[in-house]
Amino acid sequence: MVPALGSWEERGGPFHYLTPGARCPACDRGRLYAMAPLVRLRFSGQPLVTVTRYDLERLRCSACGALFVAHLPSGVNAERYDTRLKVILAVAHYHLGLPFNRLEALQHLLGLPLPDATQWDLVEQVADVGYQVFEAAKVCAAQQPLVFQDDTGARVLSLLKDNQAVPPPARKAIYTTVLRCVGAHTICLFFTGRQHAGENLDDLLALRDPALPPMLWMSDALAANTPKRHGAGVVDLNCLVHARRQFVDIQAFFPDACEQVIATIATVYRHEAQCVTAQLTPAQRLVHLQTHSAPVMAALKAWMEQQVADHQVEPNSRLGQAFNYMLKRWAALTGFLRLPGAQLDNNDAYAASGICVVMPHPRLCRMAAHKLTRRGWVSDSWHIWSRHNHSPFKKKSQQTIVGLEPGRCCLSRMSAAEGPLLDLHVSV
């Protein structure tokens, strides 16, 4: 099956000597009938940037010197750099981590020069419009009922330089926070800077409609992930996979106890898989999990508490610490047994954070602070495109359209066959 994401040229391969309804040349008895075409793909290389040259005829009057220049062919835009090129450069630089000077060297090698300063000017035009989408996406994301939260380390050239200042900044660490908001729309936001994940979530919650119920907040149990200013606006959910990992790491030393915990969590995930397969609504899913998973989890909790009460587990051992981790956060870990729509783990945020890791070599990790917002909205948009299997480089019916022409920006879907994605119209 040919994937929906991508850009290819479609060409037919008809028979030149056979037609549907003709007599079979193999047996000379049956009649041929049409079937679905057999797909064959042929891949070829091409430059990142292609150039089309137009030699426009010029005529000058021998008497008055008037100059006449032929027009461009019909349908050809007079703009020197088209919108598609600007989007490709933005994605190549801010999502794939390709420096402008390396793209310039590649284009020079191919005989199609594109200076790094020109690339910057073109991406600047994209940023002027994309920033408006980013700001609108934050407001839309804040209204969703569920948020997955995670953060990872980052390197920013200007902030690393500030760390050497005297006196140094109060906080030297640099983070990239992922806030994946799920509901009527699925929007993934990326923030890079000195703020912890909880502080970035606080800023997002400040945009939330006060009339809405508290947002379900899935994260690991780090204190830095907690929103301090809008804590009442969220319902704390902790990642069951993160708790399971406490036991997986020590299974070789405490095989029996760890196996019981891991097997119980596996049973819960089997029940969750049944809900996904049956395509249950959040309310139906809650009833199913309460019926099948709640007794299993209650038995696990009772067994763990009994082990601690009977001194079968040393509290300061790694097994005791794993028990304490789960029991201390039991309400947050089992929110899926009480709240419709509550998830079991934070895997969606962990997967989204992988988008941030696009510059593995330290020399490629140098970013100035003014580039961070651009990288954020490029990552946001790319996550939306890839999540719904669409390409940012194609304008086609029933596909995400990205119009980055000056004066207007539109990020929307022409067809809602796969469910709502995001519909933003921003005038700039």
Give the three-state DSSP class for 270.
Answer: helix
**For the residues 16-40, what does the mean pLDDT come to?**
88
**Contact, 39 vs 2, CB < 8 A?**
yes
Q: Is the pLDDT of residue 285 over 90?
A: yes
Does the predicted TM-score (pTM) go above 0.75?
no
Of the two residues 380 and 101, the one the predictor is more confident about is: 101
pLDDT digits (tens, 9 = 90+) for 143-174: 999 999 988 888 777 888 888 888 889 899 88
pLDDT tier at 341, thresholds 50, 70, 90: very high
Portion of the chain with pLDDT greater than 70, in percent: 80
Give the three-state DSSP class for 374.
Answer: helix
**For the residues 186-205, what does the mean pLDDT come to?**
90
| pLDDT value, residue 340 | 95
| pLDDT value, residue 153 | 83
CB burial string 88-120: b at 16+ within 10 A, e below: bbbbbbbbebbbbeebbeebeeeeeebebebbe
As a whole number, the mean pLDDT across the chain is 81
Report the DSSP beta bridge partners of residue 189: 179
Give the three-state DSSP class for 386.
Answer: helix
Q: Is the pLDDT of residue 252 over 90?
A: yes
Q: Cα separations (Å) of 227 from 180, 204, 232?
A: 15, 10, 9
| pLDDT value, residue 374 | 53
**For the residues 357-374, what does the mean pLDDT come to?**
44
| pLDDT value, residue 154 | 81
**Contact, 194 vs 174, CB < 8 A?**
yes
Portion of the chain with pLDDT greater than 90, in percent: 45
Ranges 37-51, 127-141, 323-337, most confident = 323-337
**For the residues 190-196, what does the mean pLDDT come to?**
88
Q: Is the pLDDT of residue 292 over 70?
A: yes
| pLDDT value, residue 207 | 95
Ranges 34-43, 339-348, 357-366, 395-404, most confident = 339-348
**Contact, 189 vs 137, CB < 8 A?**
yes
| pLDDT value, residue 386 | 55
Q: Cα separations (Å) of 237 from 146, 278, 355?
A: 10, 24, 23
**For the residues 408-425, what does the mean pLDDT come to?**
35
Of the two residues 253 and 411, the one the predictor is more confident about is: 253
Residue 348 makes CB contacts below 8 A (sequence gap 6+) with 148, 180, 182
Q: Cα separations (Å) of 162 from 151, 152, 168, 192, 299?
A: 21, 20, 7, 15, 53
| pLDDT value, residue 42 | 84
In angstroms, rounded to a whole number, what is the distance separating the alpha carbons of residues 157 and 359? 13
Q: Is the pLDDT of residue 245 over 90?
A: yes
Burial tier of 205 (Cβ tally within 10 Å: 0-12, 13-18, 19+): buried
| pLDDT value, residue 378 | 57
pLDDT digits (tens, 9 = 90+) for 215-236: 999 998 888 889 999 989 999 9
| pLDDT value, residue 248 | 95
Separation of CA 299 from chain center: 37
Q: Hey, what are 18's tokens?
A: 């056979």
Q: Is the pLDDT of residue 427 over 60?
A: no
Q: Is the pLDDT of residue 360 over 90?
A: no
Tell me whether strands 234-238 and 215-219 are parallel, antiparallel or unpaired. Answer: parallel
